[in-house]
Structure 1
């Protein structure tokens, strides 16, 4: 089941409850207010399912035609707040882009927020889901290897 909450100016937040993935979609002009709305609504979904059950987050930037100047500081602030308050440091994040400008702006945002190792720019929702699945498989394998090494010592 998917629950969708429509926000202002074409933005929306949704939760794919079957896969425990939160999806934030931004509208045509990405502002600080829109960023805050998507984060706040997404975090409500996290509280609903529990951070321990959350498999991943997808942010969809394909509708964005313009990034306002106040958006980057807002994205940094909301990202830090989410990581601090909800401990999202172990959650993979896929960011869907379509144009070179979107990719450049998202890349700048990724570099200025924590957790670069768990974030990836993708071109579709399907690719986002695949990244999240791949990330969990890789992380599970790494944990198993560390546990095995601990048992040998």
Structure 2
């Protein structure tokens, strides 16, 4: 039996999942820094930092977006209704209308779609980058002045 070739691994970190880091950073630097400090430690040019917020007004996510920009990483946001400060701070944003529950449900579906695209790229040996993912078709692009996208 011939072993099947598995796709090359891709690096991904869920910054919210390391509760020890969140607690230590929050206690030592303040909770507005819990994600920004991790982004500064890990993000490199060309990386993608994906932030989810139902309001788009969370200081810790806005700080993380600013940190990503300073690291020259792409910063994408899935947020609730526009306009909001997180969408303005990020490289790209999908801003969805609706109440908190509807926005959270939409975020879940969007993250699954992103995972599917990444997995397909890995299966086909395609080098994934923010630039390649940006080239995928979209329903709409946000105007540069608004820094947000219309609901899909």
TM-score between both structures, scaled by the size of structure 1: 0.40
TM-score between both structures, scaled by the size of structure 2: 0.40
Structure number with the higher helix fraction is: 1
Structure number with the higher strand fraction is: 1
